[in-house]
Chain A
Amino acid sequence: MSAERKEPGAARGIGGMLREVGRKLAQGEAGPLLVLLMVAAIWTFFQFQNDRFLSPINLTNLMLQQAAVATISIGVVLILLLGEIDLSVGAVSGLSASVMAVLIVNRGVAPVLAVCVALGLGATIGLFNGFMITRFRIPSFVVTLAGSLAWVGFQLLVLGETGTINLSDNFVIGLTYTFLSPLVGWIVVVLAIVATLGFALLGRARRKAAGLQVGSLNGLAFRISAIAAAFIALILVVNQDRGLPLVMCIVFALALGIAYLTERTRFGRHIFAVGGNAEAARRAGIKIDHVRIIIFMLGSTFAAAGGVLASSRLMAVNQSSGSSDLLLMAIAGPVIAGTSLFGGRGTAWSALLGAVVIGSIANGMNLLAFDSSVKYIVTGTVLIAAVTIESLTRMRRQGEQRV
Chain B
Amino acid sequence: MTTAPAGTGVTGQEPFLLSLKGVSKAFGANQALTGVDFEVNAGEVVALVGDNGAGKSTLVKAIAGVQLCDEGSFFFKGEPVKISSPQDAASLGIATVYQDLALCDNLDVVANLYLGRELFAGGAGRSAYLIDETTMEQSSLKLLESLAVTTIKDVREHVGQLSGGQRQAVAIARSLLGQPCVVLLDEPTAALGVAQTEQVLMLIRTLRDKGLGVVVISHNLENVFAVADRIIVLRLGRRAASFDVRGVSREDVVAAITGAEFGIRIDNPEVTA
Contact = CB atoms under 8 A, between A and B. Distances in A.
Residue among B115, B120, B162 facing the most chain A CB atoms (10 A cut-off): B115
Contacts of A299: none
Contacts of A376: none
B103 interface: yes
Nearest to B101: A280
Interface string B236-256: 000000000000000000000
Contacts, number: 87
Nearest to B171: A280
B135 interface: yes
Given A206-B134, A211-B138, A402-B163, A280 B115 contact: yes
A284 B134 contact: no
B107 A276 contact: yes
A298 to B, nearest CB: 15
A59 interface: no
Contacts of A397: 160
A269 B130 contact: no
Given A276-B106, A277-B102, A281-B104, A269 B115 contact: yes
B160 A401 contact: yes
Determine chain A's interface SS by DSSP, over half rule.
helix
B120 A284 contact: no
Nearest to B114: A269
B129 A344 contact: no
Interface in A187-235: 206-207, 210-212
B138 A277 contact: no
A272 B160 contact: no
Given A212-B138, A265-B131, A273-B115, A345 B106 contact: yes
B97 to A, nearest CB: 11
A315 B162 CA distance: 53
A270 B138 CA distance: 21
B137 to A, nearest CB: 6
Which among B116, B117, B120, B138 has the highest number of chain A CB atoms within 10 Å? B116
B160 A269 contact: no
B213 interface: no
Interface in B76-128: 86, 98, 100-107, 111, 115-118, 120, 128
Interface in A310-353: 343-345
B52 interface: no
B127 to A, nearest CB: 11
Given A284-B115, A397-B160, A400-B161, A264 B131 contact: yes
- Main SS of chain B's interface residues? loop
B184 to A, nearest CB: 13
B134 A207 contact: yes
A281 B115 contact: yes
Given A272-B106, A402-B161, A281 B130 contact: no
A269 B131 contact: yes
B185 to A, nearest CB: 15
Nearest to A398: B160
A350 to B, nearest CB: 15
B7 interface: no
A397 B159 CA distance: 12
Given A210-B138, A280-B115, A266 B103 contact: no
Contact of B115 (A260, A265, A286, A403): A286
B126 to A, nearest CB: 11
B55 interface: no
Contacts of B86: 283
A15 interface: no
B150 to A, nearest CB: 15
A206 B138 CA distance: 12
A227 B95 CA distance: 46
Contacts of A207: 134, 137
Interface of A: 206-207, 210-212, 260, 264-267, 269-270, 272-273, 275-277, 279-281, 283-286, 343-345, 397-398, 400-403
Given A210-B138, A264-B131, A275-B106, 19 more contacts: A210-B135, A212-B138, A265-B129, A266-B131, A269-B107, A269-B118, A272-B104, A272-B107, A276-B106, A277-B103, A277-B105, A279-B102, A280-B104, A281-B104, A284-B116, A284-B117, A285-B117, A402-B162, A403-B163
15 contacts: A211-B138, A212-B134, A212-B138, A212-B141, A265-B128, A266-B118, A273-B107, A275-B106, A276-B106, A279-B102, A280-B102, A281-B116, A284-B117, A400-B161, A402-B163
